[in-house]
């Protein structure tokens, strides 16, 4: 699986934005740039998922989503990878175990939009995720309250890092999570699929 990883050095802090990217869009780019800046990250990787285990319908073919994501990302500190397909997992807890094994000494931070924090307690072994890597959450339209009141947020309130200290997240010891109120972009893959996907360059 190591060959599927972007170049990285031990000691660096890598933010991981896992997603279906079906299709990728400006909201993904926006939160990625904000995460790099706000969480003190050296690098940010998009992990293009083989398929979200909680979503009932499979996404477009992985090769198509990878190509669209690569065409969209043009930032010296960002990269796109299909490492989960190489590792044979679609569960984040397992992905993190595989990544730590393949890249010892690298500090990983899991990133997500606020909609995913609201559902986080439904993920497989979710407590092992937050106990093993810092988690950075980015505001998303309509999701601020549900995320902050979610079971995961309540259970881990003792591990909450205030937004004013967000730049410390990358080097914090887990469990630690932070919620940042970045300027919001009301855009989603669902809306783009409903429009036929042309804005994001998705083949129809």
Ligand X SMILES: Nc1ncnc2c1ncn2[C@@H]1O[C@H](COP(=O)(O)OP(=O)(O)OP(=O)(O)O)[C@@H](O)[C@H]1O
Ligand Y SMILES: O=C(O)c1ccc[n+]([C@@H]2O[C@H](COP(=O)([O-])O)[C@@H](O)[C@H]2O)c1
Residues at the contact surface with ligand X, assessed by CB under 6 A: 17, 19-22, 27-28, 31, 112-113, 115-116, 138, 140, 185, 187-190
127 lies in the binding site for ligand Y (CB under 6 A): no
Measured CA to CA, the distance from residue 176 to residue 119 in angstroms comes to 18
Helix (H, G, I), strand (E, B) or coil at 125: coil
Nearer of residues 11 and 145 to ligand X, judged by Cβ: 145
Q: If contact means CB under 5 to 8 A according to the sort of partner, which of ligand X, ligand Y, none does residue 28 touch?
A: ligand X
The DSSP call for residue 133 is S
Q: Contact with ligand Y (CB under 6 A): which of 26, 54, 165, 191? A: 54
> Could you report how far apart the first and last alpha carbons of the chain are, in Å?
31
Measure the CA–CA gap between 21 and 162, rounded to whole angstroms: 29
| 181 closest CA partner among 129, 144, 132 | 144
Residue 128 CB, shortest distance to ligand X, in Å, is 18
Using rule CB under 6 A, residue 177 touches ligand Y: no
Distance CA 178, CA 163 (A): 6
User: Nearest to ligand X by Cβ — which residue?
Assistant: 113
Backbone angles phi, psi at 46, to 5 degrees: -85, 125
29, 31, 47, 72: which one contacts ligand Y (CB under 6 A)? 47
Nearer Cβ to ligand X (25/107) = 25
Q: Which is nearer to ligand X, 77 or 158 (CB)?
A: 77
Cβ atoms of residues 177 and 130 within 8 Å: yes
Q: Which residues bind ligand Y (CB under 6 A)?
A: 18-20, 47, 49, 52-55, 90-93, 116, 123-124
């Amino acid at each position: 699986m190591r060959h599927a990883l972007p170049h990285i050095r031990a000691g660096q802090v890598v933010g991981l934005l896992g997603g279906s990217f079906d299709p990728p869009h400006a909201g993904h780019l926006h939160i990625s740039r904000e995460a790099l800046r706000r969480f003190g990250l050296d690098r940010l990787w998009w992990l293009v998922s083989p398929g979200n285990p909680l979503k009932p319908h499979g996404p477009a073919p992985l090769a198509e989503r990878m190509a669209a994501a690569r065409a969209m990302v043009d930032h010296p500190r960002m990269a796109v990878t299909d490492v989960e397909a190489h590792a044979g997992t679609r569960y984040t807890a397992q992905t993190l175990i595989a990544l730590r094994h393949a890249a010892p000494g690298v500090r990983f931070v899991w990133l997500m939009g606020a909609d995913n924090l609201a559902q986080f307690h439904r993920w497989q072994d979710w407590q092992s995720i937050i106990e093993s890597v810092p988690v950075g959450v980015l505001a998303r339209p309509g999701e601020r309250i549900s995320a902050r009141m979610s079971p995961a947020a309540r259970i881990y309130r003792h591990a909450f890092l205030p937004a004013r200290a967000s730049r410390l997240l990358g080097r914090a010891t887990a469990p630690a999570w932070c919620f940042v109120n970045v300027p919001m972009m009301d855009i989603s893959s669902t809306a783009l699929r409903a429009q036929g996907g042309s804005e994001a360059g998705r083949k129809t």
